[in-house]
Structure 1
């Protein structure tokens, strides 16, 4: 309420009324989307053009789009890749722990309120908000040519977000890009505008989804040209290049991974060792942050899930055993004072009020870019270059000089080293399970895992979530996923 009143004073009564209408509309749409993302209400269809009739409307919509993306990042989507992976141990006392179904690979299509329904609903809800911006931006450029630069930057941010959301939902409900030789296997519906009541969109192939992702990112990069990123909390040209590098990694387009990574590594520096934990614990954005979401004044599911006090989940022995140097700075975020495993990446220690404490989910950072490039170099048989990128990450973590670190150039051993560094550096940042599946590896958990599943061989139908039953019932063009939807 205080923030609302401050905006009322600063921006004027008319602007705040419009923001309020936008917020109410988004809530209204959300209620309908709980049934089926293709359902459209007639009130929304007539009200949205009014809200996007001037600059205030589109400027108000952009924060709403970011907030919609935050909604699924600070929840099941960010947790799923680690819960389903091999580096986390879940407290399943009584079998009622949060996300225990994903931990045990027993997700069901009728799980409307849990992970299966939540990720599907909120990713497509985010797309609805984003697509409204993209749809109405051209008419505003025509109406307000003096604001063309500003409107083009808004469009660029929306295109980046649309690419990100399509990439995220596809990774959850479809097998990885390289599952088939030409990526012709079922992906997810591509939504480029709010569908009409009779538009029952089918699942596009994974290849088609990735093509659309790249188209959006290419246009975003073009529109961002000349714009300098002032904060990692907004999409930027750097964020678009980083996401393109990650997408290229999943597509195994090694030359593209290297090219986009080169751009970023040439422009940015890693967060220094002495500042490393601050970018997780002290509300510091972090020098290496390329894109993260702002959780200010929002409750955080991540902080409660990984709370150092009675956590739902902790680092598994498989993760802790990867650390062979007790001075590795990353261990400070994975163990407590007694060296017991606990995830402190979501523990805010900054001296601020409880209201100001928040967690900002990390989406893209330079450490990942180095490791992406290392993997690409490895697959290009450029072993020295791959080793050098890994040394940069290890040197920062251990406080050593890269020249003092010895890494084998043997491709088999180097592949293992890169995989271990990705696990140590990027654990609990929503990546691990996707790393396993895209690399066509078996899932192998610690022998003492609390899950009912210790091993799953690749490929497996269990490596994707079921399509929600509500969606299947409402849309006869949607095909289910084998086994998990049975």
Structure 2
């Protein structure tokens, strides 16, 4: 089965249309899609289906890849589904059933679903003005999803924004209209991809207006602003990163004390969650399984555990000693700690939360050489972790190098197992260095490296005449 990007039009509306093989052409689908978007119920079903598609690519490798390819987890199992090729930087372009193929496939399916909503919404609003407000909120959600999906794809299959001085290196295709089968689809530069991501997010911000967030499982104006803060951070646009992270911080709260572990362990959204994906009614329990305290696939590496130098750190409550080897630890971040039944067992990937906004702003302040402001935000996160007041935290606020090092340390401790590790290493132009507990033959990957990106799936290369592979990894 080929991963022909331009055929994703036929894979739209997962809640309404059965999944097809990539090269099947069924004219009934072409009739079903317009019929679906003739009612507001169709738009509601479609945005729900789009979130489900996004959950697919997060759980089908994306959320795990930057951890497995990073330096904060060790593999204690091998075999199918463990992502060992990614751990060893031996990804195969022919790997369709795994990270290489799955992230590409499911992320572009997500984009295709969002595109259908955005294509049909204007005409629907014109014919149904009474439904304009609700339809525009659905449009805003679709724009957010499309932006996040393009951003995620770019982080996986392209070098970071700052890899070249003008971001002129190859990114990923920008798909705004689902192409016809005969249309070749080319990769755009990273600069072009980011420009479209930012445009989608700003359009979404406008459409959301002053509407309140329904819950963290639905995109909102705050989620849009939080993603803009992250995108601008990656682009090293410090001013805009500060602006948008500040906007979110001013409308958010942090999780303190028992609230902290509760947002991971208690089957609740969490007070600081801005956007996360719902595993409700999903059959994929992979996140809970691979990080399980019983028979895990991935365990915390020594490189992570040695960062915790204060036993009172609240984040240590999400770890436990390994009974089989007390010198090693297990993570409880994705372990359900309350009574549950099979019907309500779920694992909800955290995508955006308030803690990240403080660390984004701290890093952006450092980029602007506003070191006192940088230290102030760092103190808030450290103080929360140690159950202290920010004034009690001592930092060398006049030493930029030490502050940036501390930001990297706090990001590693705060966001471990949440899909950030490799991306943080690469965007800050660091080399990947693994610790003594790693079982991988790949101990170090020096920056820059062609191996810091996945190959473009070979099936896409074969089916799409305009597609270009990544150096080295596609050879």
What range is the shorter-chain TM-score in? over 0.9
* Structure 1 stretch displaced more, 76-85 or 409-418: 409-418
**Match for residue 187 of structure 2 among 186, 199, 203:** 203
1:50 and 2:1 aligned:
no
Query: How far apart, in 2, do the equivalents of 1:214 and 1:43 lie?
Result: 35
Q: For 2:274, what is the secondary structure of its paired residue?
A: strand
Q: For 2:74, what is the secondary structure of its paired residue?
A: strand
- Correspondence for 1:265: 249
Query: How far apart, in 2, do the equivalents of 1:374 and 1:155 lie?
Result: 32
Q: How far does residue 355 in structure 1 lie from its aligned partner after superposition?
A: 1.7
1:368 and 2:352 aligned:
no
**Match for residue 136 of structure 2 among 152, 168, 171:** 152
Cα-to-partner distance string for 1:70-95 (whole Å, 9 max, x where unaligned): 111123000000001111111145x6
**Do 1:25 and 1:44's aligned partners in 2 also have CA atoms closer than 8 Å?**
no
- Correspondence for 1:344: 332
Query: How far apart, in 1, do the equivalents of 2:157 and 2:322 lie?
Result: 39
Q: Any residues of structure 2 matched to 1:429-468 within 5 Å, and which?
A: 429-468=418-457
Cα-to-partner distance string for 1:110-136 (whole Å, 9 max, x where unaligned): 001111000010000111111111110
Structure 2 unpaired stretches of 5+: 1-11
- Correspondence for 2:6: none
- Correspondence for 1:411: 400
- Correspondence for 2:57: 72
- Correspondence for 1:12: none
**Do 1:254 and 1:379's aligned partners in 2 also have CA atoms closer than 8 Å?**
yes
* Structure 1 stretch displaced more, 314-323 or 343-352: 343-352
Q: Any residues of structure 2 matched to 1:5-404 within 5 Å, and which?
A: 23=14, 26-29=17-20, 31-32=21-22, 41-92=26-77, 98-298=82-282, 299-336=284-321, 340-404=328-392
- CA 1:89–1:369: 2 relative to 1, 3 Å: same
Query: How far apart, in 2, do the equivalents of 1:344 and 1:441 lie?
Result: 28
**Do 1:40 and 1:196's aligned partners in 2 also have CA atoms closer than 8 Å?**
no
**Do 1:292 and 1:361's aligned partners in 2 also have CA atoms closer than 8 Å?**
yes
* Structure 1 stretch displaced more, 315-324 or 445-454: 445-454
Query: How far apart, in 2, do the equivalents of 1:47 and 1:247 lie?
Result: 36
**Do 1:90 and 1:97's aligned partners in 2 also have CA atoms closer than 8 Å?**
no
**Do 2:277 and 2:348's aligned partners in 1 also have CA atoms closer than 8 Å?**
yes
Query: How far apart, in 1, do the equivalents of 2:48 and 2:81 lie?
Result: 33
Query: How far apart, in 2, do the equivalents of 1:66 and 1:119 lie?
Result: 15
What root-mean-square deviation, in Å, do the aligned CA atoms of Structure 1 and Structure 2 show? 1.6
Query: How far apart, in 1, do the equivalents of 2:304 and 2:62 lie?
Result: 21
**Do 2:259 and 2:271's aligned partners in 1 also have CA atoms closer than 8 Å?**
no
**Do 1:91 and 1:97's aligned partners in 2 also have CA atoms closer than 8 Å?**
no
**Do 1:40 and 1:195's aligned partners in 2 also have CA atoms closer than 8 Å?**
no
Query: How far apart, in 2, do the equivalents of 1:41 and 1:433 lie?
Result: 41
Cα-to-partner distance string for 1:239-267 (whole Å, 9 max, x where unaligned): 00000000000000001111001111111
**Do 2:67 and 2:420's aligned partners in 1 also have CA atoms closer than 8 Å?**
yes
**Do 1:316 and 1:446's aligned partners in 2 also have CA atoms closer than 8 Å?**
yes
**Do 2:322 and 2:329's aligned partners in 1 also have CA atoms closer than 8 Å?**
no
Query: How far apart, in 2, do the equivalents of 1:390 and 1:103 lie?
Result: 31
Determine which structure has the larger helix proportion and give its number: 1
Q: How far does residue 287 in structure 1 lie from its aligned partner after superposition?
A: 1.1
**Do 2:14 and 2:53's aligned partners in 1 also have CA atoms closer than 8 Å?**
no
Query: How far apart, in 2, do the equivalents of 1:40 and 1:336 lie?
Result: 54
TM-score (norm 1): 0.92
- CA 1:215–1:41: 2 relative to 1, 3 Å: farther
